[in-house]
């Protein structure tokens, strides 16, 4: 893991050659709608940045955080979240411990024993008219997304970020590859290499198509999450 490398090997004075931030997992700053942040484990990382920015800008938007970890030992950002809750009157959080230990204090360290669920959200949220930002393990995000769709929340109101090389399709019920227009083979032209190749459903991603065709393409997570391989469409 790159995070382990940073902690174990890097020291002050090291120089890194990095790309600028990319991807589309960011807050809609032009909206005044209430926000729901849903995190599992270290998936809290991008959401704590969003939350900190919202608090720092004195937003009036209603903010909820639903955060799931095993127990107090794995409860990341514990003190920071407690401080943000004291600082921002319109911020509320519900913490889930799936395996609380004897020293974990219900009502202090966590509110719910179990996993993050939409059923609990429905008990505390006023409606389903929220913007949802979800980051965590793929199994959690798939369950949350499916259950939000069942409550009438559309794709436009659900933003997802998977950590690691985890492909996650945010599709509403009834939406398939065929309905999305990707069932038939297509010709793809890579402008920089000036190569035209044939894509088929078995090829899966355009990154894999490029590599199979001898075309060098930038990539990071290989699942379309980090944005490193993102390229503009000239036509089609």
The predicted-structure confidence for 173-221, as pLDDT tens digits, reads as follows 555 444 445 568 889 999 888 889 998 888 878 888 888 899 888 877 7
Residue pair 155/172 in contact by the 8 Å Cβ criterion: yes
Tally of structural domains, the chain: 2
Query: What's the rounded Cα separation, in Å, for the pair 191 and 186?
Result: 16
185 and 79 belong to one structural domain:
no
> Dihedral, CA atoms, 71, 74, 76, 78, nearest 10 degrees?
40
144 and 190 belong to one structural domain:
no
53 and 127 belong to one structural domain:
yes
Query: What's the rounded Cα separation, in Å, for the pair 27 and 47?
Result: 9
39 and 154 belong to one structural domain:
yes
44 and 151 belong to one structural domain:
yes
62 and 152 belong to one structural domain:
yes
Query: What's the rounded Cα separation, in Å, for the pair 200 and 76?
Result: 43
| Boundary of a domain, candidates 162, 190, 207 | 162
3-state secondary structure of 124: helix
158 and 92 belong to one structural domain:
yes
3-state secondary structure of 10: coil
pLDDT tens-digit series, residues 28-40: 999 999 999 999 9
Domain encompassing residue 207: 178-236
| Boundary of a domain, candidates 109, 132, 162 | 162
| Boundary of a domain, candidates 162, 186, 208 | 162
End-to-end CA distance of the chain: 37
What is the domain-level CATH number for residue 150?
3.40.50.80
Does a structural domain hold residue 61?
yes
Does a structural domain hold residue 5?
no
Query: What band does 1 get if pLDDT is binned at 50, 70 and 90?
Result: low
Does a structural domain hold residue 22?
no
Residue 10 scores a pLDDT above 70: yes
For 187, the token pair is 């010709």
Query: What's the rounded Cα separation, in Å, for the pair 96 and 71?
Result: 8
Please provide residue 133's backbone torsions phi and psi, each rounded to the nearest 5 degrees. Answer: -120, 115
Cα angle: 160, vertex 123, 141; to 5 degrees: 20
Report which listed range, 41-55, 156-170, 208-222, is most confident.
41-55
127 and 219 belong to one structural domain:
no
Mean pLDDT on 64-92: 96
């Amino acid at each position: 893991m790159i995070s382990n490398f940073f902690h174990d090997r890097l020291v002050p004075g090291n120089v890194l050659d990095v790309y600028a931030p990319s991807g589309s997992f960011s807050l809609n700053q032009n909206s005044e709608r209430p926000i729901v942040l849903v995190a599992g484990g270290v998936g809290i990382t991008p959401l704590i940045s969003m939350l900190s920015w919202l608090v720092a800008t004195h937003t009036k938007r209603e903010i909820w955080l639903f955060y799931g970890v095993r127990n107090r030992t794995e409860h990341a950002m514990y003190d920071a979240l407690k401080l943000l809750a004291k600082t921002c009157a319109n911020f509320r959080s519900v913490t889930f411990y799936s395996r609380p230990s004897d020293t974990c204090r219900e009502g202090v360290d966590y509110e719910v024993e179990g996993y993050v669920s939409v059923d609990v959200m429905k008990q505390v949220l006023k409606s389903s008219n929220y913007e949802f930002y979800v980051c965590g393990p793929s199994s959690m995000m798939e369950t949350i997304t499916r259950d939000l769709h069942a409550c009438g929340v559309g794709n436009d109101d659900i933003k997802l970020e998977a950590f690691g090389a985890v492909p996650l399709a945010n599709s509403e019920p009834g939406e398939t590859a065929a309905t999305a227009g990707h069932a038939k083979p297509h010709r793809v032209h890579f402008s920089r290499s000036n190569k035209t190749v044939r894509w088929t459903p078995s090829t899966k991603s355009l990154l894999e198509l490029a590599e199979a065709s001898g075309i060098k393409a930038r990539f990071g997570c290989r699942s379309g999450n980090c944005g490193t391989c993102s390229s503009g469409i000239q036509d089609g």
